[in-house]
């Protein structure tokens, strides 16, 4: 790796270009985990993050959002997340503080706010461009998450509905919906949790594309992570696949969701066929009027900055990778996002594992360098 982090201007009027070994794009948990291993390998690197402060996605989300596992099941490499007094399942504010302390502890070179606009292949390097700066790198780790790319499916009549509509990204708390009739759309954890609390103040209806799959009450993040760990170990030892968590179900029965079930709220109906000015309609003639629709319909990987690389996509629409490495552009790694970049890599503990292998490929070494914590 080169170690010449010295800005120079390519041409008059061009943005200053800094030469660096590895650029990590995104300073959320995945980017920080990569930073930890790059630091430990003694690599020359920088982390560029679009936000004004630390925390990644955990800066956002609704007020009551919590991890679905205790702190000690959600560590980044090197340092356990401290317990949160009085909260067996840490709040998002606690996770945010942990990530802020983490980057300080390991003196990770995070630059903010830097919104990377594009990555281009240029000779034997990758050129990373933001509004007023450029970095020329031997390797790029893209760890931009998916929060900035909310997915909202389009149904016939989507322009007709005159009520309120919002996506999970904009939802904060139930109070604004008090007394309303609200449709919550989506079959995952976000939908179940938002439905659970909105139903305490509003008349709710739950619509899903497929019947929701509830995990057993005694299965929380601890069990999910144990299963993912067993699978990972088996893969490393070339043993038969022990199976992932998908067969178990999707929705973790956190206390608020269990309470909603006990109140008889968790009955899902098949998704409507179209929107109308007043609500939602099915082809059999059924119609329901609603004041607000909350779309809890997920996210897509935030990859627009990679468009200049013209990466080919899998049938699922994600760039083709071997582990975290792009098959089309070997200097590029994709980290976080989902299982397609490594088992559980969009979770805290999974990000740690995949970051380790990703950085080992980039630096070509697992050598442990001593480094001080702040
Ligand atoms: P992010 O946290 O989104 O970080 C990406 C960073 O990159 C952001 O700061 C973003 O601003 C920045 N960025 C994006 N584009 C650019 C760009 N072009 N240039 C520069 N910077 C850019 N995981 C668990 O382990 N346990 C849980 O209990 C859990 N619960 C969850 C509950 C919900 C409702 C959600 C949505 C997720 C949950 N997760 C949980 C999953 C997971 O922890 C998060 O999705 C996680 O934040 C992903 O981390 P990341 O670093 O990949 O992305």
Between 10 and 167, the more confident residue is 167
Q: Which residues contact 30 (CB under 8 A, 6 or more apart)?
A: 56, 143, 145, 335, 336, 337, 345, 346, 351, 354, 355
CB 353: neighbour CB atoms within 10 A? 20
323-to-56, 369, 374 alpha-carbon distances in Å: 23, 24, 32
For residues 85-107, one letter each, b for 16 or more C-beta atoms within 10 angstroms of the residue's C-beta and e for the rest, the string is eeeebbbbbbbbbbbbebbeebe
| DSSP β-ladder status, 268-270 and 45-48 | unpaired
Q: Does residue 19 contact residue 138 with C-beta atoms inside 8 Å?
A: no
Atom of ligand 1 minimally distant from the CA of 305: 18
Cα(343)–Cα(362) distance, integer angstroms: 19
Separation of CA 223 and ligand 1 centre (Å): 21
List pLDDT tens digits, range 206-230.
999 999 999 888 877 677 667 767 7
Atom of ligand 1 minimally distant from the CA of 33: 51
- Is this structure's pTM higher than 0.85? yes
- Enumerate the β-bridge partners of residue 38: none
Inter-axis angle of helices 29-40 and 92-105, nearest 10: 20
Residue 345's pLDDT band (cuts 50, 70, 90): confident
Separation of CA 9 and ligand 1 centre (Å): 33
Atom of ligand 1 minimally distant from the CA of 62: 34
| Three-class SS state of 146 | coil
- 13: its two tokens: 């009027």
Q: Which residues contact 38 (CB under 8 A, 6 or more apart)?
A: 22, 24, 45, 359, 362, 363
**pLDDT score at 370:** 45
Average pLDDT over residues 330-359: 91
Q: Does residue 342 contact residue 77 with C-beta atoms inside 8 Å?
A: no
Q: pLDDT above 70 covers what percent of the chain? A: 89
**Which has the closest alpha carbon to 66: 254, 223, 227?**
254
- Residue 63 DSSP symbol: T
Cα(314)–Cα(312) distance, integer angstroms: 7
**Which has the closest alpha carbon to 294: 204, 208, 163, 166?**
166
**What average pLDDT is seen over the chain?**
90
Which of 8-12, 47-51, 228-232, 273-277 has the lowest average pLDDT? 8-12
CB 229: neighbour CB atoms within 10 A? 16
Residue indicated by tokens 């790319």: 149
**pLDDT score at 1:** 38
Cα(290)–Cα(282) distance, integer angstroms: 14
Residues in the chain: 374
Separation of CA 57 and ligand 1 centre (Å): 4
**pLDDT score at 150:** 96
Task: Give the chain's largest Cα–Cα span.
Answer: 69
Cα(149)–Cα(162) distance, integer angstroms: 24
Separation of CA 29 and ligand 1 centre (Å): 7
Separation of CA 295 and ligand 1 centre (Å): 19
Q: Which of 23, 24, 25, 26 to mutate to test the pocket of ligand 1 (most atoms within 8 A of CB)?
A: 26
**Which has the closest alpha carbon to 311: 331, 294, 293?**
331
Q: Over 60: is that where the pLDDT of 138 sits?
A: yes
């Amino acid at each position: 790796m080169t170690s010449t982090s010295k800005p120079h201007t390519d041409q008059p009027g061009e943005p200053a270009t800094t030469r660096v070994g590895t650029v990590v794009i995104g300073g959320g948990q995945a980017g920080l985990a990569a930073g930890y291993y790059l630091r430990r390998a003694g690599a020359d690197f920088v982390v560029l993050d679009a936000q004004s402060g630390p925390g990644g996605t955990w800066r956002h989300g609704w007020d009551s959002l919590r991890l679905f596992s205790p702190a000690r099941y959600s560590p980044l490499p090197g340092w356990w997340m401290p317990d949160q007094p009085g909260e067996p399942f840490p709040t998002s504010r606690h996770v945010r503080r942990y990530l802020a302390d983490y980057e300080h502890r390991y003196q990770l070179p995070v630059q903010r706010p830097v919104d990377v606009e594009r990555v281009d292949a240029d000779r034997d390097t990758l050129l990373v461009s933001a509004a007023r700066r450029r970095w020329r790198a031997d390797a790029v780790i893209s760890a931009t998450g998916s929060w900035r790319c909310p997915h909202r499916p389009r149904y016939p009549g989507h322009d007709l509905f005159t009520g309120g509509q919002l996506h999970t990204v904009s939802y904060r708390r139930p109070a604004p919906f008090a007394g309303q009739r609200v449709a919550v759309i989506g079959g995952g954890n976000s939908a179940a949790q938002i439905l659970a609390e909105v139903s305490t103040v509003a008349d709710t209806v739950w619509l899903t594309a497929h019947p929701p799959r509830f995990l057993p009450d005694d299965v929380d993040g601890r069990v999910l992570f144990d299963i993912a760990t067993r699978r990972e170990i088996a893969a490393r030892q070339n043993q038969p696949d022990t199976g992932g968590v998908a067969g178990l179900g999707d929705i973790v029965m956190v206390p608020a969701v269990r309470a909603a079930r006990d109140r008889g709220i968790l009955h899902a109906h098949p998704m409507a066929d179209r929107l109308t000015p007043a609500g939602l309609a099915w082809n059999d003639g059924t119609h329901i009027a609603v004041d607000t629709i909350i779309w809890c319909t997920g996210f897509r990987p935030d990859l627009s900055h990679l468009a200049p690389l013209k990466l080919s996509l899998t049938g699922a629409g994600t760039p083709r990778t071997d582990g975290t490495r792009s098959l089309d552009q070997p200097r590029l790694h994709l980290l976080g996002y989902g299982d397609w970049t490594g088992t559980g890599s969009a979770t805290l503990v999974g990000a740690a594992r995949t970051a380790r292998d990703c950085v080992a490929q980039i630096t070509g070494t697992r050598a442990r360098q001593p480094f001080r914590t702040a």
